[in-house]
Homo-oligomer: A and B are copies of this chain.
Amino acid sequence: MTISSSESAAASRINTQIQLTGMPQGKLTPEVFRQVDVPIPVCGAGQVLVQIKVISLDAANRAWMQGATYRSALEAGQVMAGGAIGEVIESKADGFTAGDLVFGDMGWQRYAVLPAQDVRKVPRIEPITHLLSVYGIAGLTAYFGLLRVGQPKPGQTVVVSAAAGSVGSLVGQIAKIQGCRVVGIAGGAAKCDWLVNTLGFDAAVDYKAGGLSKALKEAAPEGIDVYFDNVGGDVFEACLFRMKQGGRIACCGAVSQYDGEPPRHGPRGVPGLIVTKRLTLQGFVLYDFYPEIDTAMKDLQAWVASGQLKVIEDVRQGLENVPDALIGLLAGDNYGKRMVTL
């Protein structure tokens, strides 16, 4: 049924999309978005028409509203950007045919017409949501950020923030597979219990409970060898002060800084502690590691198959629910990878 109704929408050339009405100044609110019906553009030479199946929600979506990052800044009136998995329903590009499953920045809409070079063919894995979680940007970011940037050794202490999130939940589990002691930082006792009891973390620290530094000291009494930072801000600062000599910080995101006013000041101890503790801090994005992607996929698939890696997904339904899904994600109400199926 879904297919035939979608096909009729495609045939009638009506697209539904969620556009930005302006840029948020403080916390993200639903008013920044509007749902609009627009015609589906004609698929031109070198392009593909894609029917979107699953939209990925990512903290980075919010960062894109703040200005240019690794992609150009978003602007009012545009369709909201976002990674998604879709199916090619018309192709005027070499190498793509109807029925291909593709990944790309397709935006929050039912259909997208994109230049072929802006999408990447992906295998038909079931469930296809795994293509956005463990086998997508989240999984590969966790894999490369931890193993190539963080470089933990067996027996070392790894701390990860936003530990119940899409990337963090995988980072902690991969660190356990490497034989590390793993401490997760998350908001609320329920998430912390879940990290330890369901995901097998050695300890968890509730950053909302107060006394973060003390709790971190108890959870990582010998200090931190590798800190995988998803949040920035106070949690970053607390971890910085607990780093061991020669420790490494993988800087993956700064979600605490995305939604609201830009912070007036950065964390204390920079650069003083970087010097005295001989730390390495490294920012990275996934495409730095594209040459090694086959190795990563093979490892991730093996760990999932053996049950060593639990894939946690938080899947919602319906295009109209995408804005709330992002607003909730920024408030930290998700367990694992959040996405919305259409």
Q: Give me the interface of A with B, judged by CB distance under 8 Å.
A: 63, 69-70, 229, 232, 236-237, 249, 251-254, 257, 262-285, 288
Contacts and interface: CB of A to CB of B under 8 A. Distances in A.
A270 B266 contact: yes
A78 B116 CA distance: 71
A78 to B, nearest CB: 20
A140 to B, nearest CB: 15
A278 B267 CA distance: 18
A282 B276 contact: no
B278 A283 contact: yes
Report the copy number of this chain in the oligomer: 2
B254 A275 contact: yes
B281 A288 contact: no
A257 B283 contact: no
Contact of A271 (B254, B264, B268, B273): B254
Given A63-B276, A249-B271, A252-B275, 16 more contacts: A232-B270, A236-B270, A251-B271, A254-B271, A266-B267, A266-B270, A273-B283, A274-B283, A275-B283, A277-B283, A278-B284, A278-B288, A279-B281, A279-B282, A280-B281, A281-B281
Contacts of A268: 262-266
A69 to B, nearest CB: 4
Contacts of A236: 270-271
Given A265-B264, A265-B265, A266-B266, A282 B274 contact: yes
A148 to B, nearest CB: 12
Contacts of A232: 270-272
12 contacts: A229-B271, A232-B270, A232-B272, A237-B266, A249-B271, A265-B265, A276-B283, A278-B282, A278-B283, A279-B282, A280-B281, A280-B282
Contacts of A275: 251-254, 283-285
Contacts of A70: 276, 278
A23 B195 CA distance: 45
A159 to B, nearest CB: 14
Given A275-B254, A277-B283, A278-B284, A267 B264 contact: no
Given A271-B229, A271-B232, A274-B251, A283 B283 contact: no
A274 B257 CA distance: 13
A284 to B, nearest CB: 6
Given A266-B267, A268-B265, A283 B280 contact: yes
A117 B262 CA distance: 51
